[in-house]
Amino acid sequence: MIDDQAVVRQGFVALINTVPDMQVIAEGINGQEAIDLYKQHTPDVTLIDLRMPVVGGVEAITAIRQNFPDARLIVLTTYDGDEDIYRSLQAGAKGYLLKDVFFEELEMAIRTVHAGSRHIPAAIAMRLAERMASSDLTSREMEVLELIVRGQSNKEIGASLTISEATVKSHINNILSKLGVTDRTQAVTTALQRGLVHLR
């Protein structure tokens, strides 16, 4: 169980340990510990949060799966942005649950993933379907979007990326169109809600 919030982690660990045939064998507080503890214990199933210090959840999942292709990981997080879901499953997570989940569903998810299947609740699957239907932003558009979220003007974005203001405007028009919004403020809100950009 990997989560940087002690109360949350301890709560889930206590619940899981009440199930007769389940036992939590290790706990960690960041993605690097997830990687190290996995190598040490090779658990049947790993529960991992997304936003953690040192190494994030998606990076940890990627690293674990590179060394252990059969690793069974379930994301347990408060974030339901479609980009977060997409990145987690792309990295190799076999399940995706929100922390307000009923314990019965968590137990079922652990059993399902342990048996080699995926566990993705309907609401999460719908968010993922929306993500698949939306147009992907190019890497340059992502850079521009991140700078918009940080509050930079077109002129500042141009200077940061060494491109002309006209090119910045062109990228912004593409971003607005792809995100289905009409202005920069909506673009920022949508980017944060979907998990495209994270405030550091």
Which residue range(s) make up the domain with 65? 6-132
Domain co-membership, 43 together with 89: yes
In a domain, 183, yes or no: yes
Higher-scoring residue by pLDDT: 129, 171: 171
Q: Are 161 and 101 found together in one domain?
A: no
Asked whether residue 200 is domain-assigned, the answer is no
Do residues 131 and 143 lie in contact, with contact meaning Cβ atoms separated by under 8 Å? no
Range 183-198 average pLDDT: 86
What's the Cα-to-Cα distance from 94 to each of 43, 46, 73, 134, 138, rounded to whole Å?
A: 14, 10, 6, 23, 27
185: in domain = yes
pLDDT in tens, 91-112: 999 999 999 999 999 999 999 9
| CATH, residue 148 | 1.10.10.10
pLDDT tens per residue across span 43-54: 999 999 998 889
Q: Is residue 74 a part of any domain in this protein? A: yes
Check whether 133 has a pLDDT greater than 60: no
Confirm whether 36 is domain-assigned. Answer: yes
Cα-trace Rg, the chain: 19
The number of domains in the chain is 2
Q: Does 57 lie in the same domain as 20? A: yes
Would you call 102 exposed, middle or buried from its count of C-beta atoms within 10 A (0-12, 13-18, 19+)? exposed
Residues 127 and 153 in one domain: no
> Would you say residue 137 has pLDDT above 80?
yes
Over 90: is that where the pLDDT of 85 sits?
Answer: no
Model confidence pLDDT, tens digit, residues 65-75: 999 999 999 99
In this structure, the answer to whether residues 104 and 18 fall within a common structural domain is: yes
CATH number at residue 61: 3.40.50.2300
Stretch 6-20: mean pLDDT: 94
Q: What is the mean pLDDT of residues 7-36?
A: 95
- Token representation of residue 174: 């593409």
Q: How confident is the model at residue 84, as a pLDDT? A: 84
